[in-house]
Structure 1
């Protein structure tokens, strides 16, 4: 049987968004996932956006990694169904939420996590930076500083949540937590190595690396 080239191409819808409240993005992801669990033939999705300041806790994560009292805090906090510990989102951090059907790629969560790391590593390479992996930990490091956090949730092999790359955020908020529950490894941002870098320019590099790593065709969606 001869398969057409078109039939073999994996399409991925790209939603390039700006600043979006965490809860709104979370509900959107859950909706997209539910649609694809119901109909696995729907196209994959990649959402790129930034969040207003917010702390998120992974499923089963330890609240002791917060350095403030949850009951008397002034910061938005959400406990989600992703893996991983507490993390911080804010403007200047580029967040990617892939909604992928892993049955089209590889039904292996460790493989998927390594692929997300590879996307970030390739983006850093564009700037001449060498991103590192640390065995037994998930994420990407630059010279010992964690610049990208990754946390996922998978249902029926459909993914949600994803990665957060510190491009040029105000790092103050990270001081109120033990990021990802790792006390002995500091966080960093690309702006420390590349002054003046912006999320706007990094977006295109993320899309290019994501296309290469997952072997997909990006279809950009225009949202009003």
Structure 2
């Protein structure tokens, strides 16, 4: 493999269910490649939107089967996952990005990776016109007391899965039925709300890709055909 910057294949998976997104993610993370030989690992960045769904990470913090039933009655799906973080919402108007990377290629530890992911989102928000997006003691990216992007990742054998949910033009009313990410007394915002104009996922994805290549110091290539997405 070349000693140049790592190559990441961008997969535009479109709008689908959370179950389909997980299936695609699993396929890419465990596809026919020797994970032990990290130099041969093919990295991906999956961009997608989900049907309405509430997801919980490995720390459930009090959400019971009764809560799950209550949330399903709102018309959303519900999933328990192996990512970090607490409960959050994904739905139309939110850009969900799954970086599936072998960290050895990027010379990153898992902790460094999370920090780099945070910087990438902050840079994306800045380039879109929100200069005060930042990290706090709580997870995610914030604009004051309002979370604009949820972050929840998983790592196995130095390969990352899951990722971020950046609110672009998301219907924020979905968040009113939960305590987002388990953080009391704070709210949720979106790019559209902060900029007082419509910001769709397509516009946000263009900016995010530029920030991703710069912050992760990598090369990006677009998936040339639909064969990867056909797995879902």
TM-score, structure 2 normalization: 0.87
Following superposition, the deviation at residue 39 of structure 1 comes to 5.6
CA distance in 1, matches of 2:84, 2:54: 14
2:89 pairs with 1:91: no
Q: Per-residue displacement from partner, 1:48-74 (whole Å, max 9, x unpaired)?
A: 1100100111013224399x6324532
Aligned-residue offset at 1:222: 3.1
Partners of 1:25 and 1:69 lie apart in 2 by: 23
Q: Identify the residue that residue 221 of structure 1 maps to in structure 2.
A: 223
Q: What residue in structure 2 maps to residue 145 of structure 1?
A: 146
Question: After superposition, what is the alpha-carbon deviation per residue over 1:104-154, rounded to whole angstroms, capped at 9, x for unaligned?
Answer: 12342221111111111111111331211103x221111221000000010
CA distance in 1, matches of 2:26, 2:144: 35
State the alpha-carbon separation in 2 of the partners of residues 151 and 65 from structure 1.
20
Is contact 1:14-1:45 (8 Å) kept? yes
Following superposition, the deviation at residue 8 of structure 1 comes to 2.1
Counterparts of 1:7-26 in structure 2, within 5 Å, are 7-26=3-22
Q: Quick one: distance in 1 between partners of 2:171 and 2:183?
A: 20
How far has the Cα of 1:155 moved from its partner?
0.4
C-alpha distance in structure 1 between counterparts of 2:53 and 2:46, whole Å: 18
- 2:55 corresponds to: 56
Q: Secondary structure at the match of 1:23?
A: helix
39 and 29 in structure 1: CA distance in 2 versus 1, 3 angstrom threshold? farther
Q: Separation in 2 of the partners of 1:103 and 1:61?
A: 30
Aligned length: 218
Secondary structure of residue in 1 paired with 2:188: coil
Question: Matches of residues 193-204 of structure 1 in structure 2 within 5 Å?
Answer: 193-194=194-195, 195-204=197-206
Check the 8 A contact 2:102/2:159 in 1, yes or no.
Answer: yes
Unaligned runs of 5+ in 1: none
Does the 8 Å CA contact 1:123/1:205 hold for their aligned counterparts? yes
The verdict on how the C-alpha distance between 1:64 and 1:13 changes in structure 2, with shifts beyond 3 A counting, is same
Assess if the C-alpha contact under 8 Å between 2:6 and 2:106 holds in 1. no
Query: Contact 1:65 / 1:179 at 8 angstroms: preserved in 2?
Result: no
**1:64/1:187 Cα in 2 relative to 1: closer, same or farther (>3 Å)?**
same
**Structure 2 counterparts to residues 112-151 of structure 1, below 5 A:** 112-129=113-130, 130-135=132-137, 137-151=138-152
Aligned mates of 2:8, 2:111 — CA distance in 1: 21
> How many angstroms apart in 2 are the aligned matches of 1:59 and 1:23?
17
Provide, for residues 161-181 of structure 1, a one-character-per-residue CA deviation record: whole Å limited to 9, x for no partner. Answer: 000100111111101111000
CA offset digits 1:72-99 (Å, max 9, x no partner): 5323100011011001000000010000
Give yes or no for contact 2:128–2:207 (8 Å, CA) kept in 1: no
Matched-pair contact (CA < 8 Å) for 1:132–1:140 = yes
User: What secondary structure does 1:113 align onto?
Assistant: helix
Q: Do the aligned residues in 2 keep the contact of 1:107 with 1:157 (CA within 8 Å)?
A: no
CA offset digits 1:180-201 (Å, max 9, x no partner)? 0001221111111221211111
Q: CA RMSD in A?
A: 1.9
